Protein backbone atom coordinates (compact mmCIF):
# COMPACT_ATOMS: atom_id res chain seq x y z
CA UNK A 1 0.00 0.00 0.00
CA UNK A 2 1.26 3.44 -0.93
CA UNK A 3 0.50 6.38 1.33
CA UNK A 4 0.10 9.77 -0.23
CA UNK A 5 0.15 13.15 1.46
CA UNK A 6 -3.30 14.72 1.11
CA UNK A 7 -5.15 11.41 1.35
CA UNK A 8 -6.94 9.78 4.26
CA UNK A 9 -4.48 7.98 6.57
CA UNK A 10 -5.31 4.27 6.96
CA UNK A 11 -7.35 3.60 10.08
CA UNK A 12 -6.28 0.82 12.41
CA UNK A 13 -6.99 -0.62 15.84
CA UNK A 14 -4.25 -1.74 18.24
CA UNK A 15 -3.88 -2.52 21.95
CA UNK A 16 -2.58 0.48 23.86
CA UNK A 17 -0.78 1.40 27.04
CA UNK A 18 -4.12 2.68 28.37
CA UNK A 19 -5.32 -0.93 28.58
CA UNK A 20 -7.86 -0.39 25.82
CA UNK A 21 -7.77 -0.77 22.07
CA UNK A 22 -7.15 2.46 20.21
CA UNK A 23 -8.24 3.40 16.70
CA UNK A 24 -6.68 6.20 14.73
CA UNK A 25 -10.21 7.43 13.98
CA UNK A 26 -10.76 7.90 17.75
CA UNK A 27 -8.68 11.06 17.39
CA UNK A 28 -10.71 12.86 14.71
CA UNK A 29 -10.86 16.50 15.71
CA UNK A 30 -7.24 16.44 16.88
CA UNK A 31 -3.98 16.26 15.03
CA UNK A 32 -2.01 13.04 15.43
CA UNK A 33 1.73 12.62 15.34
CA UNK A 34 2.04 8.89 14.66
CA UNK A 35 5.57 7.64 15.08
CA UNK A 36 6.90 4.15 14.40
CA UNK A 37 10.07 3.08 16.17
CA UNK A 38 12.05 -0.19 16.21
CA UNK A 39 12.30 -1.22 19.88
CA UNK A 40 11.67 -0.09 23.44
CA UNK A 41 14.69 0.52 25.69
CA UNK A 42 17.22 0.91 22.86
CA UNK A 43 19.33 4.08 22.85
CA UNK A 44 17.87 5.88 19.81
CA UNK A 45 14.30 4.85 20.58
CA UNK A 46 14.69 5.97 24.18
CA UNK A 47 16.12 9.31 23.08
CA UNK A 48 13.26 9.82 20.64
CA UNK A 49 10.61 8.94 23.24
CA UNK A 50 12.22 11.22 25.81
CA UNK A 51 12.38 14.06 23.27
CA UNK A 52 8.63 13.66 22.68
CA UNK A 53 8.10 13.48 26.45
CA UNK A 54 10.06 16.67 27.07
CA UNK A 55 8.03 18.61 24.47
CA UNK A 56 4.69 16.89 25.16
CA UNK A 57 3.02 20.05 26.51
CA UNK A 58 3.93 21.96 23.36
CA UNK A 59 2.31 19.26 21.23
CA UNK A 60 -0.80 19.41 23.43
CA UNK A 61 -0.98 23.19 23.00
CA UNK A 62 -0.99 22.53 19.23
CA UNK A 63 -3.99 20.13 19.62
CA UNK A 64 -1.74 17.19 18.75
CA UNK A 65 -1.82 13.68 20.18
CA UNK A 66 1.39 11.64 20.08
CA UNK A 67 1.01 7.91 19.40
CA UNK A 68 4.09 5.65 19.33
CA UNK A 69 4.00 2.23 17.64
CA UNK A 70 6.47 -0.65 17.77
CA UNK A 71 6.19 -4.42 17.62
CA UNK A 72 7.02 -4.74 21.32
CA UNK A 73 4.38 -6.41 23.50
CA UNK A 74 2.35 -4.30 25.93
CA UNK A 75 4.30 -5.63 28.92
CA UNK A 76 7.49 -4.14 27.44
CA UNK A 77 5.70 -0.86 26.64
CA UNK A 78 4.54 -0.65 30.26
CA UNK A 79 8.13 -0.96 31.49
CA UNK A 80 9.33 1.63 28.96
CA UNK A 81 6.62 4.10 30.01
CA UNK A 82 7.31 3.58 33.71
CA UNK A 83 11.09 3.87 33.41
CA UNK A 84 11.05 7.10 31.38
CA UNK A 85 7.79 8.71 32.53
CA UNK A 86 6.28 8.82 29.04
CA UNK A 87 3.03 10.84 29.04
CA UNK A 88 1.72 9.62 25.68
CA UNK A 89 0.19 6.39 24.41
CA UNK A 90 2.24 3.52 23.02
CA UNK A 91 0.60 0.96 20.76
CA UNK A 92 1.63 -2.65 20.27
CA UNK A 93 1.78 -3.92 16.68
CA UNK A 94 3.21 -7.37 17.41
CA UNK A 95 2.06 -8.81 14.08
CA UNK A 96 3.39 -5.69 12.27
CA UNK A 97 0.14 -5.30 10.31
CA UNK A 98 -0.09 -1.54 10.85
CA UNK A 99 3.64 -1.13 10.18
CA UNK A 100 3.07 -2.89 6.85
CA UNK A 101 -0.01 -0.77 6.14
CA UNK A 102 2.09 2.37 6.61
CA UNK A 103 5.03 0.99 4.60
CA UNK A 104 7.52 1.05 7.48
CA UNK A 105 8.00 -2.73 7.81
CA UNK A 106 11.06 -3.16 5.62
CA UNK A 107 14.20 -5.18 5.05
CA UNK A 108 17.00 -3.86 7.26
CA UNK A 109 20.68 -4.70 7.68
CA UNK A 110 22.77 -4.74 10.83
CA UNK A 111 26.24 -6.23 11.24
CA UNK A 112 25.94 -7.90 7.84
CA UNK A 113 22.64 -9.64 8.67
CA UNK A 114 19.36 -8.92 6.95
CA UNK A 115 16.06 -8.96 8.78
CA UNK A 116 12.61 -7.39 8.63
CA UNK A 117 11.85 -4.57 11.03
CA UNK A 118 10.38 -1.13 11.53
CA UNK A 119 12.13 1.75 9.81
CA UNK A 120 11.86 4.77 12.11
CA UNK A 121 9.17 6.95 10.53
CA UNK A 122 6.67 9.64 11.55
CA UNK A 123 3.34 10.66 10.07
CA UNK A 124 1.49 13.91 10.75
CA UNK A 125 -2.27 13.52 10.41
CA UNK A 126 -4.71 16.42 10.55
CA UNK A 127 -8.04 16.73 12.41
CA UNK A 128 -9.96 15.08 9.55
CA UNK A 129 -7.60 12.09 9.32
CA UNK A 130 -5.70 13.38 6.26
CA UNK A 131 -1.99 12.61 6.02
CA UNK A 132 -0.25 16.00 5.96
CA UNK A 133 3.43 15.07 6.22
CA UNK A 134 5.66 11.99 6.35
CA UNK A 135 9.20 11.59 7.60
CA UNK A 136 10.94 8.37 6.57
CA UNK A 137 14.20 6.93 7.90
CA UNK A 138 14.09 9.49 10.70
CA UNK A 139 17.24 10.63 12.44
CA UNK A 140 16.39 11.33 16.05
CA UNK A 141 18.48 14.49 16.38
CA UNK A 142 16.42 17.47 15.25
CA UNK A 143 13.30 15.45 14.50
CA UNK A 144 11.15 16.93 17.27
CA UNK A 145 11.93 20.44 16.04
CA UNK A 146 11.00 19.48 12.47
CA UNK A 147 7.71 17.98 13.65
CA UNK A 148 6.85 21.06 15.71
CA UNK A 149 7.71 23.33 12.81
CA UNK A 150 5.39 21.35 10.50
CA UNK A 151 2.60 21.57 13.07
CA UNK A 152 3.02 25.32 13.47
CA UNK A 153 2.89 25.72 9.68
CA UNK A 154 -0.49 23.95 9.46
Rounded distance between C-alpha atoms, residue 103 and residue 99, angstroms: 6
Residues identified as active-site: 45
Cα Rg of the chain, angstroms: 14
- Quick check: 39 and 45 in contact, CB under 8 A? yes
CB 118, CB 92: distance < 8 Å = no
Amino acid sequence: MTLNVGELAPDFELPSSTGESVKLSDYRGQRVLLYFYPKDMTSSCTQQACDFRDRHEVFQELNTVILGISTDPMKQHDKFIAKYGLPFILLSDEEHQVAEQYGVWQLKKMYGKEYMGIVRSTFLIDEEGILMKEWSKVRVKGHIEAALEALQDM
